[in-house]
Structure 1
């Protein structure tokens, strides 16, 4: 036993460590070296070493003997330590990574899986909501056997090999001590029960695949990526467990005129030069109707006008967003000689020629850049 490391050194503890210190050290190292997590070549041997140290030091009587005799304990069995690795890697992994610290009951009710369905809707359907039906494939509890898998009038029997535990234990002696590995029972496949007469509808599975029509209510104000949860419309539970949920992920088509940003709607409206210069009253389409918008004289391109309350209904709250209207002045591209002359005359009468206007703009840019 000269090559065997001290158990306290294995766990990185002082000899006066408390039971809580031992447990914390073991949990940390077991997570680090568990073969299902650590793929290093020596991870398994280190995990076994840590487990052996913990089994001895966590037991008051075995720890007292170890403190007195070390690895030469005359009362120990094969391998000196007499450690029993009951549970194997699978049970310990469950204990640390979500198994609840104990052996799972293979006959316990199990919740059904959640399902996800992607639905594409129109822009206005997202704004105002809609009701529709969808059809999804899902696993449901068999109506004939009510999920037992057994022929009606019969019931599953407890497995005589594993006595309902769903696991078999195989023990072997190794240089690290006596190891007890647990694996799925070969007789019942880990279910803990055996079905002598199978249900003719589900062939003993307790579940069947069906196409199910579901009514969906999409609330007003949803947006791209919104997710709806419909409780209990996922896959059926196992052994009487509750069904899972259905999650509907929404994809929203774009609109040819409107764009959306949160609860606000944006659109762009063209104006002629004369409308922008002289002012006008124009008709603007909204999500529900057409409204009048007054354009003041001298409006510049890129100006935004707000139509209050003409946006999207707020999904979680009261009221609606706004509609933002951006005006863009359209420059005419095909002018007659008469129109060109009128524009030149306008420029002249306004006090500056087009050349002078360009020069003035250039000078402003120069001053901004050079700081003059």
Structure 2
């Protein structure tokens, strides 16, 4: 049985890091995936070689054994053969995307790593279904409260619960709602990206809300009550006499809901913007003039 250079198959150096091995594998697996190259026997063979190489090099103990014996791998069976095979059977992991079964590993792999231990009885190659990707467009006030929504994906209706506090650009995965698997393989997943449009007068930063409220000059000078809108209703505020333009206050717990923390909210920050009266009457001008004279005394 000929020696197989797994490093060459993945196009990496022998001193490649775990991350470099993972990146090389994922890149090649996407390129040679059977779904993208239907009825191409050469591509299918290449795809199996790539997965076999990853099965060895991504597994610390297997890679150590492979690096140690190299082309003389056949002598490895004389060194703790039984123990090594049992350890591999316990610890071996499935490839990142697919499971392989009877007849899919090379003789080199089987002799060196006990490949038959991870085979399925069916003798057919099982492939995981591909993922579906969808974008869900919502308004900010849509995600202030948890609610249910029905999505139509690939002609199928899927009932979703949208948690309160979902953020713009956030991605969630719904397991098993993607494409059908091949030869009894598992279904892919539905991956949803949220696009949240802020259709409100509030600015959202993390879980805090920010807004500016107009305050008339007289109330700013003399104080009084002011009713404002928050995300979940109106609130009456007490305005202190001589409130300055740009004054900021915080309403604790009146911000945006915190994702997956029911009953927890950020804060609402309000900035007062004093509105100067316009189109003054002659009487108003006279009174302001008298007031200004008093201030100069």
Asked whether 1:128 is paired with 2:73, we answer: no
- CA spacing shift, 1:60–1:308, aligned 2, 3 Å: closer
Could you state the TM-score of these two structures normalised by the residue count of structure 1? 0.48
Distance 1:263 1:26 in 2: 46
Larger radius of gyration: 1
- The answer to whether structure 1 residue 212 and structure 2 residue 165 are counterparts is no
> How does 1:245-284 map onto structure 2 within 5 Å?
245-284=189-228
Determine if contact 2:177/2:188 at 8 Å carries over to the other structure: yes
Q: Does the 8 A contact of 2:99 with 2:126 survive in 1?
A: no
Post-superposition shift, 1:121?
A: 1.0
Name the structure with the higher helix share.
Answer: 2
The higher relative CO (CA closer than 8 Å, separation ≥ 6) is in 1
| Structure 1 unmatched runs, 5+ | 1-24, 38-53, 62-97, 138-210, 353-372
Supply the distance in 2 between the matched residues of 1:279 and 1:26 (Cα, whole angstroms).
74
Cα offset, 1:124, TM superposition: 1.4
Cα 1:313/1:26, change in 2 over 3 Å: closer
Q: Aligned pair in 2 of structure 1 residues 99, 235: CA closer, same or farther (>3 Å)?
A: closer
C-alpha distance in 1, partners of 2:204/2:146? 15
Instruction: Map residues 17-166 of structure 1 onto 2, 5 A cutoff.
Output: 27-28=14-15, 58-59=71-72, 102-103=105-106, 107-137=124-154
* CA deviation profile, 1:208-251 (whole Å, cap 9, x unmatched): xxx11111110011121122211100111111000011111111
Q: CA deviation at 1:28?
A: 4.9
* Cα 1:119/1:60, change in 2 over 3 Å: closer
The answer to whether residue 284 in structure 2 is matched with residue 339 in structure 1 is yes
Tell me the distance in 2 between the aligned counterparts of 1:311 and 1:128: 12
| TM-score normalised by L of structure 2 | 0.59
CA offsets per residue over residues 247-282 of structure 1, 9 Å max, x none? Answer: 111111212322211111222110111111111101
In 2, the alpha carbon distance for the partners of 1:320 and 1:331 equals 34
Superposition pairs for residues 298-337 of structure 1, below 5 Å? 298-317=242-261, 319-337=264-282
Unaligned runs of 5+ residues in structure 2 are 1-11, 29-66, 75-97, 110-118
- Root-mean-square deviation (CA, aligned residues, Å) is 3.5
Asked whether 1:222 is paired with 2:166, we answer yes
Quote the Cα distance in structure 2 between the aligned partners of 1:26 and 1:315: 43
Q: Provide closer, same or farther for how the CA distance between residues 134 and 256 of structure 1 changes in structure 2, counting only shifts above 3 A.
A: same
TM-aligned CA distance change 1:254 to 1:236, over 3 Å:
same
Tell whether 2:276 aligns with 1:289.
Answer: no
Give secondary structure in 2 for the equivalent of 1:117. strand
SS at 2:144's partner residue? helix
Count residues in correspondence: 199
3-state SS of 2:168 partner: coil
Q: C-alpha distance in 2, partners of 1:127/1:288?
A: 9
1:32-86 CA-to-partner distances (Å, cap 9, x unmatched) read: xx9x99xxxxxxxxxxxxxxxx9xx83499xxxxxxxxxxxxxxxxxxxxxxxxx
Q: Kindly indicate whether the alpha-carbon contact (under 8 Å) linking 1:129 and 1:222 is maintained by their aligned counterparts in 2.
A: no
